[in-house]
Amino acid sequence: MSARRRRSLALAAAVATAAALGATAAPSASAAAVPLDGYELTWGIKASYRTYVTTFAQGTFTPGAGASQAGNNGAFTFTGGTGTYDSTTHVMSLGFRGELHVKSEKHGFELSLSDLKFDSGKGEITADVERNGTTEDDVPLATVTVTRAMTDMATTLTKEAGEVFGSASYAGAEGDPLSIVKKADPEPEPEPSTTEPATTPPA
């Protein structure tokens, strides 16, 4: 394993541990901010919501711009996560690429989620939400129980999520688990050989 990859994985492990133990204090101007990149966030919102959209509402989920959906109407993954780890407050803040468009002509709704953000100090996931021709920035969609592993973290949908997804019953309901992973850096390409070809056949 290359030294670069070992450093990247070591930093990811340290950040995940610190995030799990993180304080909620606001970062100070003098705090040492460690840049982070290459993270992915996977979250399905709520399985029953996905089922409702694609069956009863005869609607669709259309991910794009860096987002994707697992097969069989599965969870959504947002890529290109960048942000910082604050070594003073031990808070990880990340923003992700990708958009998710949700539409049902039968039930008459259409919305888009983009600019998903995760804050380990607040234990919160937010997104910009476009509905009815207007966009509201940084809408809190769920609270997150941050864990050391940063995978399969429990989520609870917010009141705002109930409004966004069209059911007051979602407010305070259990959401799908949320995972944040650091994608390993690819191994560097081998250097091309500089050995000169033989000019005479071997004896």
Average pLDDT, the chain: 84
Q: Which residues contact 26 (CB under 8 A, 6 or more apart)?
A: 89
Residue 194 lies in a domain: no
Residue 189 lies in a domain: no
Which is nearest to 43 in space by CA: 137, 113, 122?
A: 113
Question: Which portions of the chain are predicted below pLDDT 50?
Answer: 2-14, 16-30, 194-203
Residue 149 lies in a domain: yes
Confidence at residue 187, expressed as pLDDT on a 0 to 100 scale: 56
Residue 90 lies in a domain: yes
Residue 51 lies in a domain: yes
Confidence at residue 132, expressed as pLDDT on a 0 to 100 scale: 87
Confidence at residue 202, expressed as pLDDT on a 0 to 100 scale: 40
Confidence at residue 184, expressed as pLDDT on a 0 to 100 scale: 72
Q: Could you list the residue range(s) of the whole structural domain that residue 46 is in?
A: 3-22+33-182
Q: Look at the chain and report how many structural domains it folds into.
A: 1
Residue 13 lies in a domain: yes
Percent of the chain that is helix, strand, coil (3-state, to 5)? 15, 40, 40
> pTM of the entire structure?
0.78
Residue 198 lies in a domain: no
Residue 138 lies in a domain: yes
Tokens 């100090």 correspond to 121
Is residue 77 within 8 A of residue 70, CB to CB? The reply is yes
Give the pLDDT confidence of 150-202 residue by residue, as tens digits.
Answer: 999 999 999 999 999 999 999 999 999 999 999 876 555 555 554 444 433 34
Strand-strand pairing, 91-97 and 99-104:
unpaired
Q: Which two tokens stand for residue 188?
A: 């560097």
Instruction: Let me know how long the chain is.
Output: 203
Tokens 């390409």 correspond to 189
